[in-house]
Structure 1
Amino acid sequence: MGLKSARVKLQRSLRAQAATMLPPIPPEIWRYVAQFLPTATLLTLFSVNRVFLDIAREARYRAVCFDAYKTAKPLAKQLGNSSFVHTVRIQPWLIRAKEYRPPSGWRILYSCVSASAHNEDKYESQMQLVRRVQKQTRLLADTIRGFPNLHHYHIDWDEGPVQDEFLVAVLDALIPTIGRNLYSLNLKIPLRHMLALPNLSQYLPRLETLSLTIHTGSHDAQDVAQRMEGLVFFLNCLLRNLSSLTLNTTPTSMYLDLGVLFAHLAHGRRLKAFALCIPFDGGHLPNPKSLRRFLMQHSPTLESLTLETTRAAACPRPSATSNYFWIRDAIKDHHPPFPVLANLSLALRPLRTDLSPLLLSLSGLCSLEQLKLGERPLEFVELWRLLEVLSQAPKLRKLNVRVRWLSPEIVDALAACLPQLEVLQLDFAEIIHCEPGSSVTSTLSQDSRPTELALFCAALKSRCYPHWSLTRLAVPESQREPIRWLNVLERVFVECIPALGRFEELLVV
């Protein structure tokens, strides 16, 4: 016993000496190390020490999503009054009554002798559904109210059936409580609930970012017009402080005219970013003049502009041909051009004919740093004209563009015209060894693709771009079996571009 006691004392003495020799590492050091670890790795390090336990909790609960009661109930118990939660996303779900259970023998006998048994069962089922709605919405609302650091709130309705009480609980009744701490709000709600938006604007004094998806469905034109009046009031109340505004419409929206909305929007003196996504045929913007006026009004402050499209609108009447050019008409002839615009993203699908108005608009953007042109591939001649214009943008560092095919001439043109480019996202479906001539058809045959890939690699191996600042390149993988060119292209591009440090697959949505 004496030997064992002496061993224990020695161990305690060694621990005490180690504690005195190795002072505890400050939490700031651990948090600095955690910045370089992936989220999945952080979640496994909660048992290292108390600091990593807090870091793992922050990483896990910084953004939470409630999309079903089955998962929302245990998540609410885990969170409690969590100060880690900064972002909440809600996908409203349809609350149903409990599953039907076969009645007992006594109940069957009672239903045979009582004519009111069926009505009683129906009433009980309705009351049960009411209680379930109240229970689930109360749990959800009480949980969200307990997040003191909630700054980003997102309601993403999937256009399916949902109880009105659900949306009232998470929008009308909740915003007055949590709204004063919100910096970002993202809403997609049914049209009938937009009537509540004007009253909610007073509870959002710190809101800086607003994203709104408008869905009118099959509502008639008069009903849509009434709701839009309330939406205009809501936006005008918030535009005074907004720095970012995003407006989206669903293709299934009928009788929707955003021209009326833009015609009545006020001036947002702090607006730095604007994004609009509507059907490509311009069905929701019959007259783009009001959008153009809105952009001209905010051009002195806009640093980011995004104009994207979805599929054609489900309008009662087909859109006029002139509506297809809503992007061209919205950005052309801006005098002066956007003086501080740094990020521009445009959909080229409505610009299938002549790119001259687009190129003219780009020629005056001297502060442009990022450019994305999507939704249709560019021919080599179009790309060359674009690069000639972009060569006058000395600050351009990131380019996302889609071409018909990849060729050595395209790589040469990019390196020659944009030597300062650092990030390139290049989308294409084919690879050829030279730009099309009489010997190259518009569509490659299955047998010629491996040959074209080999010739392209051989042509690129004889080139070198020592003055190209490109550090990151993303290209798509081949979609045709059995050809896979990603690994081959990586080896070739790393050899001919000395500055290239990151080559990755471009995921095309």
Structure 2
Amino acid sequence: MKHLALPADVWECIAVFLPWRDLYPLISVNRALYHIVLDARYREIHWDKVDRFMTKTLVRLRTPSIASRVRRLHIRAWFLEYLIRKEALTPHSYVASSQRWVTRYFRLPPRIAPSTGGKSSPAGDILESMTQAVRLMTHVTEYSFEWRDLSPTPRTVRFLSTARAAFGVSLRKLTLHAQLDNFSTLLSTVDFENLEELELFMDHDNVVSPRSADLLRDTIAPFVNHFRRSIGSLLISSASKVDLSPLFEALDQMPHLHKFVGRFAFDAAHLSDPRGLVKILRTNSETLTGVEIGWSFAAASDEEHQPISTWGAFSAAVVAEPSALGNLRSLKIPVLQTFDVTLTCLRRSANTLTSLCLVDNFLREQDLVDLVQVFAHRPFDAGLQTLYIGLVELTVETLDLLANQIPGLQSLGLVLTPATVSAISHRESEYASVSLFCEALVGRSYTDWKLYNLGIWEKRFIDTPVSMSEELRLMQHLLRCIPSLQTFKGQPKYVGSTCCAWSSNS
């Protein structure tokens, strides 16, 4: 029988359903699978440590047909500085041995082979080989670089410049991690033409440089403003001791900005004047559809007397600006200075919001009622599809309220206090409390509720799929009355044994 050749796009559809361990052996079946396997293998590259896996990959990436398949490149450059420092503290015999290891596993071409005259080093040879590979990556769309403690040597800068030349046209997303003092060097090597997403992480530093404000105002702000007409998503996060106010004041309006994420400490030391942050929300209010504001606890002061909080000033400035936080589809933010103030701002997006996360605060029963009423006027559209909140207490009335007033909710995340989790989880010492809650749920069946995903966390405002035993037990119990549930914390649901003592005797 003559072999029937399938089109390449059909093979791509088939490959989607195969795990990598089953897909890789098919590389020699035909040309279509050959390219599918190689694309899957080299689509995303991580360089964060030197091991045999990295060395083998790096050898192959110096082949143009392989390097051109890379779409996402992530580099954590700390391992190069680690090698450099280790070489400085070890005898020459160790360095020579390391050079032989690099030569053996990297198979470096003659022009960059390690020298035996002491002018080369394993770290330098690895960086040179990385430079050669990056030069061939002409289709990278996402690039992240963590500077960490890497010294800004000419060879390092040449490597960074190679990245700019290789994917200067193709790049769409850029992520940079560095201490503030290194941003001047780093930003001079990343001038891309068509950037759409920009993420800047200012890492922890031990001291605040006298020129920090100038770096923010005269270096970082102009860099961001350079992409103002193309950028659609901007993230600024800081664990630095620097005051970010000059940066926000210097940022221009971005006509296509649809998502803004800011994570830093709201206090007099790290954000002395939050009006610049509010200005970003105001000047881009016509295009912004997603906003995430949160605290960066890594930036918290170690001093005995903590700096004065500026969260109240930020809350007041947001309320005073009617266009801020308006017409959003997605919002993640801590509760503002008061819950009434928070509701005032939420009403600005009452007709458009589909995803809401209120973090770092536990709502009382009346707070939840008032929150639901903000969106209860939308029974005929999808309304809120994702809700993530903290609750002081979880009762069957809470479930009744959510199921009746937000029937289109697809994902619900609840952060509960330890006392609440203890009261409704299975513990013999609290058998009476367990019985009351479980018996109240027996008569409930939310068959019209479209809830697909449920997550419960004990006192943890962290969206992690990991579940403690009591959290899982509670989610399994709620599954009994919410038949539409398919996932717990985004993972396939696990239906185990009954979780309440009363059910074993029913």
Q: Cα deviation per residue 1:45-66 (whole Å; 9 max; x = unaligned)? A: 5455443333222222211111
2:131 matches 1:141: yes
**Superposed displacement of residue 77, structure 1:** 1.1
Counterparts of 1:470 and 1:379, CA distance in 2: 22
User: What pairs up with 1:419-458 in 2 under 5 angstroms?
Assistant: 419-430=407-418, 447-449=428-430, 451-458=432-439
Counterparts of 1:91 and 1:188, CA distance in 2: 9
**Superposed displacement of residue 207, structure 1:** 0.5
2:84 matches 1:100: no
Aligned to 1:313: 300
**Superposed displacement of residue 155, structure 1:** 0.5
Selected match of 2:340 from 356, 363, 368: 356
2:333 matches 1:346: yes
Paired residues, number: 450
User: What pairs up with 1:187-198 in 2 under 5 angstroms?
Assistant: 187-196=176-185
Aligned to 1:269: 255
Aligned to 2:219: 230
- Check 1:429–1:338 CA distance in 2 against 1; reply closer, same or farther (3 A cut): closer
Counterparts of 1:454 and 1:322, CA distance in 2: 44
Aligned to 2:14: 33
Contact in 2 for aligned 1:450/1:483 (Cα 8 Å)? no
Q: Which amino acid aligns with 1:77?
A: V
- The gaps in structure 2 that reach 5 residues or longer are 95-114, 461-466, 493-506
Aligned to 2:395: 407
**Superposed displacement of residue 486, structure 1:** 2.3
Counterparts of 2:452 and 2:254, CA distance in 1: 37
Counterparts of 1:55 and 1:468, CA distance in 2: 40
Aligned to 2:60: 78
**Superposed displacement of residue 284, structure 1:** 1.4
- Check 1:166–1:316 CA distance in 2 against 1; reply closer, same or farther (3 A cut): farther
Counterparts of 2:318 and 2:429, CA distance in 1: 42
- Check 1:459–1:431 CA distance in 2 against 1; reply closer, same or farther (3 A cut): farther
Counterparts of 2:15 and 2:468, CA distance in 1: 41
Counterparts of 1:483 and 1:204, CA distance in 2: 48
2:242 matches 1:283: no
2:448 matches 1:467: yes
Counterparts of 2:122 and 2:152, CA distance in 1: 11
Contact in 1 for aligned 2:424/2:433 (Cα 8 Å)? no
Q: Cα deviation per residue 1:126-183 (whole Å; 9 max; x = unaligned)? A: x8475444322211111112112111110123x4464645642442453244222211
- Check 1:455–1:151 CA distance in 2 against 1; reply closer, same or farther (3 A cut): same
TM-score under structure 1 length normalisation: 0.78
Contact in 1 for aligned 2:456/2:471 (Cα 8 Å)? no
Q: Cα deviation per residue 1:254-312 (whole Å; 9 max; x = unaligned)? A: 2x121111111111111111100002546311111111112100000001101011225
Percent identity over paired residues: 24
Q: Which amino acid aligns with 2:396?
A: P
Aligned to 2:47: 66
- Check 1:324–1:166 CA distance in 2 against 1; reply closer, same or farther (3 A cut): farther
Counterparts of 1:61 and 1:449, CA distance in 2: 54
Contact in 1 for aligned 2:479/2:485 (Cα 8 Å)? yes
Q: Which amino acid aligns with 1:57?
A: L
Aligned to 1:178: 167
- Check 1:152–1:483 CA distance in 2 against 1; reply closer, same or farther (3 A cut): closer
Counterparts of 1:499 and 1:193, CA distance in 2: 51
Aligned to 2:146: 156
Counterparts of 1:72 and 1:314, CA distance in 2: 38
Contact in 2 for aligned 1:476/1:486 (Cα 8 Å)? no
Tell me, what secondary structure is at the counterpart of 1:180?
A: coil
Aligned to 1:117: none
**Superposed displacement of residue 87, structure 1:** 0.3
Contact in 2 for aligned 1:404/1:429 (Cα 8 Å)? yes
Selected match of 1:52 from 30, 33, 36: 33
Contact in 1 for aligned 2:203/2:238 (Cα 8 Å)? yes
Counterparts of 1:327 and 1:274, CA distance in 2: 16
**Superposed displacement of residue 477, structure 1:** 8.2
**Superposed displacement of residue 429, structure 1:** 4.8
Counterparts of 2:392 and 2:23, CA distance in 1: 42
Q: Which amino acid aligns with 2:395?
A: S
**Superposed displacement of residue 474, structure 1:** 2.6
Deviates more, 1:281-290 or 1:183-192: 281-290
Counterparts of 1:483 and 1:136, CA distance in 2: 45
Contact in 2 for aligned 1:407/1:432 (Cα 8 Å)? no
If you compute each CA radius of gyration, which structure gives the higher value, 1 or 2? 1
2:306 matches 1:324: no
Counterparts of 1:457 and 1:303, CA distance in 2: 40
Contact in 2 for aligned 1:346/1:374 (Cα 8 Å)? yes
**Superposed displacement of residue 390, structure 1:** 3.2
**Superposed displacement of residue 443, structure 1:** 11
Aligned to 1:248: 237
Aligned to 2:404: 416
Counterparts of 2:313 and 2:76, CA distance in 1: 32
**Superposed displacement of residue 478, structure 1:** 11
